[in-house]
Amino acid sequence: MLAAPLARAQSARTKAPFRVIYSNDTTNISSCVSPFHKAREPFRATMLEATVDEVAGLVDAHFLQPGLGMVPMWPSKVMPLEPHYAWIKERYGVGPDSFGNFVMRGGDVVQVFVDRCHKTNQAAFVSFRLNDAHHKEFTHPKPGDKPGSSMGMSVTRHYVDHPEYLFKPDSKRGMDLVQNWIHEDVRAQKLALITELCENYDLDGLELDYMRIYSFFDAEKTSLEQRQAIMTGFVKQVRQALDRTERNGKRRWLCVRVPCLVKGLDALGLDLPAMVGSGVDMVNISASYFTTQQMDLAEIRARVPETAALYVEMCHSIANGSKLVPGYDTFTFRRATQEQYETTAHLAYARGADGVSLFNFAYYREHGGPGRGPFAEPPFAAIKQLDEPAKLAVKAQHWFLATGWNNPYVRPPILPRSLKEKARTQFELDMAPPADGWKGQGRLRLQADATLAGRTIAARCNGTDLQPSNDVEELFENPYPSLLGKPETMRAWAVPASVLRDGKNVFEFMHQGGKPVTLEYMDVRMG
């Protein structure tokens, strides 16, 4: 797929030609059971190559996240790994992680990745996490804490030596334990690693990841103008590093991974027009860990100059459940399906996006704690037509609204939502019709957290009463049973195509009798 897109990129500010972007967090290689990795096997270069190979021909650009943006997964002069991991051993009593061992024994994760991408006709990007929070709750371990080898990826001596850079050093909350970007030294640490990547590798591009994690400033102590000046200034420095180190006169693309909500952009100081003016080529809008169809897509497209390509990110999960046991990756989650990917991509193109991106796609595979299955291979078939808007525009549609991203910008969250007797509530779904318009009759479903027996709920769409349906079965065949509703927790209604409109559709629910309910999920099939 790569040859044709790159052929369209001829001048310095030609729009980025990529249609489908694939993000690879690297750690999935060692944390997931896969055809190329058995449980607890140490990392090998062939495993990384296999993650590149399995999407060859399906994606245009491959984005590798080599670690957490704290400790390099490459031979580094900015942060030599031997003294770093010796300090980790002394402080935490744990050895290097599998990737650290690989590099200290002469390997280079980034070089393996770049070489394999170019061999398989995928543009090679590094996605750099700018403020990752993973494992920082164990920075100062207390009796009973069990910091694992991942500490070596997450915590550095510089981080520990500067508690004044943290928002709340005594907190256990990730948002509080990352560094405040008001401090120039914090930004300089990131820029040094990014510059080293630009200098040492034949990258096709770089992504600045503002979503890991979306906490950079104390909003009460900074103005919007101050935050924007810092963030735009950082983009300028990265653009200069990319331009200074470009090879063979080929422009290196600069992408930013940012919130899919306008309030999030302002909170982080992300002035998209100014950032594009300072050298950003690609804007990748994200709901952090989830596929969502309800975002500020049209508003963000209006902010992003047409010279920059806009991408909508989709993920393996649409909703997470509760933790089954303490620890990371121990919660249940509702998997995104092929029809949900295709409908979300259709909406993205309809609202002006230039392409889509995939994040955490590997995590359909077995990983984490017990009781979260059944697991499966990722649905690679779902990627095949994501680069073809015309084909997506004639497919049956699966619209949905789930709990998804519990973000700090929408309070209270849209879901879950309580509904008492005699009360009503409404939800908006941004929906785009197929190429020849909606036809016939679709089906709406509503899912609660417990049985709906003894409750009477009525529904409307755009002011029109909907007729109840007894069919509460899944709208499409779904191979992923985790968190799906049971018949007794569901209600359904017929949706005439004539009541829908291109844009925001209002679905209203009236609780006409019975005990209160808590709504968790809704979806609509058309076609």
Peptide bond into 412 cis (omega under 30): yes
- The mean pLDDT value for 414-443 works out to 98
- pLDDT of amino acid 204: 98
| Bridge partners, 37 (sequence order) | 34
Least confident stretch, 125-129, 135-139, 243-247, 397-401: 135-139
* Among the listed residues 318, 267, 307, 250, the one whose alpha carbon sits nearest the alpha carbon of residue 283: 307
Tokens in use for 148? 């694992």
pLDDT at 149: 83
How wide is the angle at C-alpha 192 spanned by C-alphas 190 and 197, nearest 5°? 100
Asked if pLDDT for residue 205 goes beyond 70, the answer is: yes
CA nearest neighbour of 336 among 480, 524, 526: 480
| CATH architecture, domain 3-394 | Alpha-Beta Barrel (3.20)
Residue 10 binned pLDDT confidence (cut-offs 50, 70, 90): very low
Q: Are 19 and 82 in contact (CB under 8 A)?
A: no
Residue scoring higher pLDDT (141 or 283): 283
Of 21-25, 179-183, 247-251, 259-263, the least confident: 247-251
Per-residue pLDDT at 12 exceeds 80: no
Question: 384-409: string of b/e by CB count within 10 Å (b at 16+)?
Answer: ebbbebeebbebebbbbbbbbbebbb
AA letter at 152: G
Average pLDDT over residues 506-510: 99
- Confidence at 146, pLDDT banded by 50, 70, 90: confident
SS3 call for 496: strand
Q: Span 84-113, mean pLDDT?
A: 97
Residue 130 CA neighbour count, 13 Å, CB half: 23
The pLDDT of residue 142 is: 84
3-state secondary structure of 123: strand
pLDDT band at 9, cuts 50/70/90?
very low
Q: Which of 5-14, 242-251, 470-479 shows the lowest mean pLDDT across its residues?
A: 5-14
12 vs 6, more confident? 12
Q: 68 near 153, Cβ under 8 Å?
A: yes
Name the pTM for this structure. Answer: 0.96
Grade residue 147 by pLDDT with cuts at 50, 70 and 90.
Answer: confident
Q: N- to C-terminal Cα distance for the chain?
A: 30
Kindly give, in sequence order, each residue whose CB lies less than 8 Å from that of residue 487, ignoring residues fewer than 6 positions away: 472
Q: What is the pLDDT of residue 11?
A: 42
Provide long-range contacts, Cβ within 8 A and 24+ apart, for 239-247. Answer: 239/278, 239/279, 239/280, 241/191, 241/194, 241/195, 241/198, 241/199, 242/198, 242/206, 242/279, 243/279, 244/198, 245/198, 245/199, 247/202
CATH for 417-526 is 2.60.120.260
Q: Go through the chain and tell me how many residues it has.
A: 527
pLDDT the model gives residue 7: 41
Q: Tell me the C-alpha distance between 419 and 510, whole Å.
A: 8
Give the domain ranges of the chain. 3-394, 417-526
Percentage of the chain modeled with pLDDT above 90: 94
Q: E-assigned strands of 87-204?
A: 123-129
pLDDT digits (tens, 9 = 90+) for 209-227: 999 999 999 999 999 999 9
Is there a contact between 41 and 31 (Cβ–Cβ < 8 Å)?
no
- Angle of helix 184-200 relative to helix 224-244, nearest 10 degrees, comes to 20
| More confidently predicted of 415 and 8 | 415
Q: Annotate 48-90 with three-state secondary structure.
A: HHHHHHCCCCCCCEEEECCCCCCCCCCCCCCCCHHHHHHHHHH
Could you report the per-residue pLDDT of 291-301, keeping only the tens digit for each?
A: 999 999 999 99
Instruction: Note the pLDDT of residue 330.
Output: 92
Q: Which residues contact 10 (CB under 8 A, 6 or more apart)?
A: none
For residue 463, pLDDT beyond 70: yes
Identify the CA nearest to 66 among candidates 114, 19, 16, 105: 114
Triad 211, 216, 222: Cα angle to 5°: 140
The dihedrals phi and psi of 422, each to the nearest 5 degrees, come to 75, 5
137 burial type by CB count under 10 A (0-12 exposed, 13-18 middle, 19+ buried): middle
Structure tokens at 106: 């002469």
431 has pLDDT over 90: yes
The pLDDT assigned to 1 comes to 54
Q: Which amino acid is it at 256? A: V
Residue 6 has pLDDT above 80, yes or no: no
